[in-house]
Amino acid sequence: MNIELAQVSRWYGNVVAVNDVTMTVGPGVTGLLGPNGAGKSTLLHMMAGFLAPSTGTATLDGRPIWRNHQIYRSIGLVPEREAVYGFLTGWQFVLSSARLHRLPSPEDAAAKALAMVEMEDAKDRRIETYSKGMRQRVKVAAALVHDPQVLLLDEPFNGMDPRQRLHLMDLVRELGAAGRTILFSSHILEEVERVAQQIEVLVAGRHAASGDFREIRRRMTDRPHLFHVRSSDDRRLAAALIADASSGAVSLGEEGLEVQAVDFRRFTWLLPRVARDAGVTVWQLSPADEDLESVFSYLISRSTR
Amino acid sequence: MNSVVAGITYRAVLGRRRVLLLILLPLVLIGLALILRAVGSTDEKATVTLMQVYAIGTMLPLLGLIAGTGTIAPEIDDGTIIHLLSKPISRPMIAITKFAVAASLLALFAAVPTFAASYLLIRNEAGIASGFALGALIGGIAYAAVFLLLGVITRHAVTIGIIYAVVWESLVGGLVPGARNFSIQQWAQTFAGQISTSDFFKPTVSIGFAIPAVLIVTIGAVLWAGQRLRSLSLTGDE
């Protein structure tokens, strides 16, 4: 099944949370990547029927998602918020989900779903006694109980320990390989890389990039990098660096050198050699913009060009 | 009606600390009746006053507020309601089920104690006990619907509900004659008056007005709540 967003925007008052996004999410695993506050949850809520687009349309195989409870026959949703009915046991929670879906044998479906997330042992404990990762897993079980064609997960790996995380990643990959349409949001590139075939990058409400992880990874490393360099002779090093095409700009300041490397690989290969040949000792080399935010804002500036 | 939704709602309401208020308010009513009995005021007039001022005038709107908003507002606040809403069940059906739960709680915690307190004082003399029990039941149903709607449309349901219960129902409804037509507790008294034959008790709103008023308000509020649930938006944390 396909989820289609066509020129979807969503604003709250004067604040634009999602800005003119068009994307199709098809079978397989899609990662929705973006920094915190990029509008990932807003976008996911529109795909899940919990938010109306301000403009544009969100559809599931052509059917409108908003104000259409029938879509939940095909959609399983794992919301980010931790809140679940704490007074229910894991078993009761997943079973209630099966009953709400009016499945023919809710007990079997609930048992199967709990087994998928390896929660059989703790199923008779009340959810309020669960750790964050366990809550996350029963939420996944409740969302999977009706074997949905579409699964939407909002930051599903948050709060899980490494083993649980790997297990859920495997599960998500398996479900995707079986032809289900799966979309999950995350602000961690490595997480998305490990699980998703398709990556959609959202930055500041805009659809900044789209592609498989190699494509996204290449775009993220193949960009001008900014480095701070401190050395025994900044001026001499600056002169040596600017002579090579890998440096776009070099500026000399009180704090040392600031170098804009246009060819990342060549620059990292070149710097030690240039310094050695010039007889300069490099004391410090630090990337100035390696945080995800700057990577994302670079993608944004490229996508709007 | 959906039994899974009803089951979860009962457990959610009865498991919260607010349930103590659901128990405490009727206990006060029974306590007041016992005190009146102890001091020998077991007459029709005292009973009618207790019923009008406390049972219908104070307890019923407060219980309505606790049960009506309590069946839905906390779940919307903390987001647990997504579990129910992300299912192929029509939202109006969820609203109707939650309304039924609230109404049943009011029957149990308002109508039954109203009958019991009155009965403790004067048995069923002049039909006061059964009359006010009917009034509390019907008023409770209307309150359940109105406060359920309030719990769906605003995050400040309890504050607004208290202001409504105190200002409108107690002051305006009690003091301004024309406004009495638009007061749920006055309608409740009208229904009580249908059974009660007491000379100390004359409802001001006619039954010809009260019946359609209760029907319109109750059905309208539940349907509206269902429509609002269909458009319930989650904004997330960002």
Residue B89 DSSP one-character state: S
**Phi/psi at A92 (nearest 5 deg)?**
-65, -35
Shortest distance, CA A274 to any CA of chain B (angstroms): 47
What SS3 class is residue A124? coil
Q: Is the Cβ of A75 closer than 8 Å to some Cβ of chain B? A: yes
Q: How are beta strands A181-186 and A150-153 bridged, if at all?
A: parallel
In chain B, count H helices and then E strands: 13, 0
Q: Which helix (H) or strand (E) holds A204?
A: none
A19 and A54 in one domain? yes
Both A99 and A233 in one domain: the answer is no
Classify strands A282-287 and A225-231 as parallel, antiparallel or unpaired. antiparallel
Report CB contact under 8 Å: B234, A99: no
Interfacial residues of B (vs A; Cβ cutoff 8 Å): 2, 4-5, 7-8, 11-12, 15, 78-80, 82-91, 230-238
User: Residues A67, A142: one domain?
Assistant: yes
- Within this chain, do residues A183 and A242 fall inside the same structural domain, yes or no? no
Let me know whether A190 and A271 are in one domain.
no
Contact A36 B86 (CB under 8 A): no
| Rounded average pLDDT per 10-residue block, chain A, 305 residues | 95 92 96 90 95 96 95 95 89 97 96 95 94 92 96 91 91 95 90 90 89 74 80 90 85 86 82 90 80 63 56
Q: Is A283 on the interface with B (CB under 8 A)?
A: no
CA distance A218 to A216: 5
Q: Are residues A102 and A89 in the same domain?
A: yes
The domain that holds A147 is classified in CATH as 3.40.50.300
pLDDT digit string (tens) for B91-112?
A: 999 999 999 999 999 999 999 9
A283: domain range?
224-303
ipTM of this complex = 0.91
Query: So what's the pLDDT on residue A302?
Result: 61
Strands A55-60 and A3-12: antiparallel
What mean pLDDT is reported for chain B? 92
Nearest by Cα to B116 from B191, B33, B19, B25: B33
Asked if A75's CB is within 8 angstroms of B79's CB, the reply is no
Distance, CA of B120 to CA of B217 (rounded, Å): 33
Minimum distance, in Å, between the CA of residue B3 and any CA atom of chain A: 9
**Are A130 and A234 contained in the same domain?**
no
Residue in A51, A20, A27, A48 with CA at minimum distance from that of residue A202 = A20
Low-confidence ranges of chain B (pLDDT < 50): 237-238
**H helix runs in A66-119, sequence order:** 90-100, 106-116
Dump strand ranges (E) for chain A. 3-12, 15-25, 28-33, 55-60, 63-64, 75-78, 150-153, 181-186, 198-203, 206-212, 225-231, 247-253, 256-261, 282-287
**Cβ–Cβ < 8 Å for A209, A23:** no
**Bridge pairing between strands A75-78 and A150-153:** parallel
d(CA A51, CA B23): 38
Identify whether the C-beta of residue B48 lies closer than 8 Å to the C-beta of residue B131. Answer: no
How many structural domains comprise chain A?
2
On whether any CB of chain B is under 8 Å from the CB of A52, the answer is yes
Across A81-102, b (16+ Cβ under 10 Å) vs e yields bbbbbbbbbbbbbbbbbbbbbe
In this structure, are residues B36 and B50 in contact, taking their beta carbons and an 8 Å threshold?
A: yes
Q: Both A71 and A113 in a single domain? A: yes
Q: In sequence order, what DSSP letters do the residues of B170-223 get, joined into one string?
A: IIIHHH-TGGGGG-HHHHHHHHHHHH---TT---SS-HHHHHHHHHHHHHHHHH
The whole model's pTM is what?
0.86
Residue A189 shares a structural domain with residue A131: yes
C-alpha angle with apex A83: A81 to A84, nearest 5 degrees? 125
Q: Are B164 and B209 in contact (CB under 8 A)?
A: no
Task: Report the residue of A69, A81, A101, A158 to disrupt the B interface, i.e. the one with the largest count of B CBs within 10 Å.
Answer: A69
- What DSSP designation does A128 have? G
- The token duo for B98 is 């939650």
Residue A126 sits at the chain B interface (C-beta within 8 Å): no
